[in-house]
Structure 1
Amino acid sequence: MWFTRFILIAAFSLTASLPQAAGLKLFEVPADDNGPALRVIEWSPCVSPPEEINLGPFRLPAVRNCPISGDKLPLIVISHGFGGTFLSHHDTAESLADSGFIVVALNHPDDTASNETKARNLSALVSRPTDIKRLIDFMLGSSSSAAQIDPQRIGFYGFSRGGYTGLVLAGANPDFQELRSVCQHPTGAACDRISQAALPKAPLTHDPRIRAFVIADPLSNVFHTTDSLKAVIAPVQLWSSQRGGDGVSPENLATVARNLPVKPELHVVPNSGHFAFLTICPPELAKSVPEFCIDNAGFDRTVFHKEFNAQVLAFFREKLSGADQP
């Protein structure tokens, strides 16, 4: 299967009209009655040779504000994990943009890395799906890219809490009674139940405009029954680390895979921990936060991400196919 997909992707890459680099643009979705302003980064197809753009510790191969190459393009929205940022999965975004997708990633205001005051606020479990809906509304309405997006070809990629976000958007209804606090445990599993007073109580946002979901190591203990997942009918590519961590359990994810009404495309990544899905760390980041950057002995994150990005691309190509497929 992997070899076949590799050949298909290679064939697409030989098409003369395909972009040569990812265009890069930063902007804000304005605050409204449903939430604060959202900081967003957009990657898009670009025909110019890439430059090196510095954003914090990251060096991105892209072209600032490059005119978008193509029309009726699919849109992919990326949701980071707890305490992450819109750059947490930039290599995946670049891979998709280089191949003809418009990709947007946002900083979720309630639990992005820069928000220390709300770091443990469980309201993010409600606000996150709403953030994504607001971003899609903006991309299809007021954004400068709106005219070049095909609204029938929207996909989503989420990691950890971002994976939880994707399942909710797809129609899942979590049981917050199962939320537990993270404690000392060899696998990073969660232990004590969170108090009733702290549980989110606001209604959740679902978004049927999203036609395909890539979900990586999601917060999943809140989806432990078939009833909680019965409304998820969109195609799902589900990724699991073998060892879990940070409150994410491979066993809980396996339960989600069994209970989804439409069988997902399931991948279990051998010898991987939870943070293997984060982008490859630059040296200064690896030094300052090694727990997010250093993998198990014998696991090569760079090699894994090449395969991961290729399989994500193949999945979105298939599930978001259309007459004007890039």
Structure 2
Amino acid sequence: MDQLSAMRVFTRVVEAGNFSKAATSLKMPKTTVTTAVQALEAHLGAKLLNRTTRQVVVTTDGALYYERASRILSELDELDGSLSSSLAQPSGKVRIALSGGFADRIIMPALCDFHIRYPGIQLDFDIGDRIVDYIAENIDCALRAGTPSDQSLVARKVADLELRTYAAPRYLDKMGIPTHPHDLRNGHFGVGYMKAHEGRVFPMVFRQGEEEVQVQLDYVISVNEFRSYIAAAAAGIGIAQAIDFTVRDHVDRGELVEILADWPRDPIPLFIVYPQTRHLSNKVRVFVDWLAKRLQDTQNCEMRLKAPVSSS
């Protein structure tokens, strides 16, 4: 038995008042309508209609079932209609959580392109590196570095982030230029980066071939927001590890220089995440797809910028 079809037939019989009128409005044979209602009653183990030669009378159970079934069918029709409309032109608000570094370097420069494509979508950004409550704060999706530990989230990997080590020239003039990660243990300072809910400063990690070195640097300040982290390094307060494209402006202005270039950190995966319990509406889907392509294009551009240019 197709229960959904049987529910539609039953509600139409109730509304029409008899099987013949219901069959005519549904463009079905009367026997098909009768069979559908009988199958639904058998499935539920309850009598829904009392039949006479001219009309049907709804039982107490039937009246209760009709009320709930009508509501479900109405909501289903509304959902189908809204989705069909949104597929043609998605609209509404999308709330996204992400760090300031990604917002500044990835999202904002290309927002005009997104708006031209989807003029009916409004984007609400929650900028920062804090942990969010997706349901309570009505967050549709988030951009997060590192593999999510929350099993209630759906995670879509969109990029691998390459992290490098940077320091301000004024810092290096004072403290010296390290040539090996072990040199950092001899009086160097880092800018501490921590996640507020963990309450600890993350160590710096370096790799060369099979050798990995972790260094827990002393720090003058620690922060839990990416832009402040980079700003502190550019001010000469300490050494920082950052995604290369997020510090390009500082490097171009001479405020930061790369150090220990032969000791890059292993790439960190970047995910777009959203709650399993939340339906991924079309307005959210088009933003997620646009953001994934934007990240891929940005990475490809950075790779081209780094590639040596052959002279002809």
**TM-score normalized with structure 1 length:** 0.24
Q: Which has the larger radius of gyration?
A: 2
Q: Which has the higher contact order (CA 8 A, sep 6+)?
A: 2
TM-score, normalised via structure 2 length: 0.25
Structure number having the greater helix percentage? 2
